[in-house]
Amino acid sequence: MLPALGRWLIGAGVILILAGVVIWALGLVPGMGRLPGDIYIRRGNFTFYFPLGTCILLSIIISLLFMLFRR
What predicted TM-score, i.e. pTM, was given to this entire model?
A: 0.57
Decide: 37 and 53 in contact? Cβ < 8 Å.
yes
pLDDT score for 8: 93
Q: How confident is the model at residue 30 (pLDDT cuts 50, 70, 90)?
A: confident
Q: How confident is the model at residue 55 (pLDDT cuts 50, 70, 90)?
A: confident
2-17 tens-digit pLDDT: 888 999 999 999 999 9
pLDDT score for 2: 83
- The yes-or-no verdict on residue 43 having pLDDT over 90 is yes
DSSP secondary structure letters along the chain: -HHHHHHHHHHHHHHHHHHHHHHHHHHTSTTTT--TT-EEEEETTEEEEE-HHHHHHHHHHHHHHHHHHH-
- Whole-number Å distance between alpha carbons of 26 and 14: 18
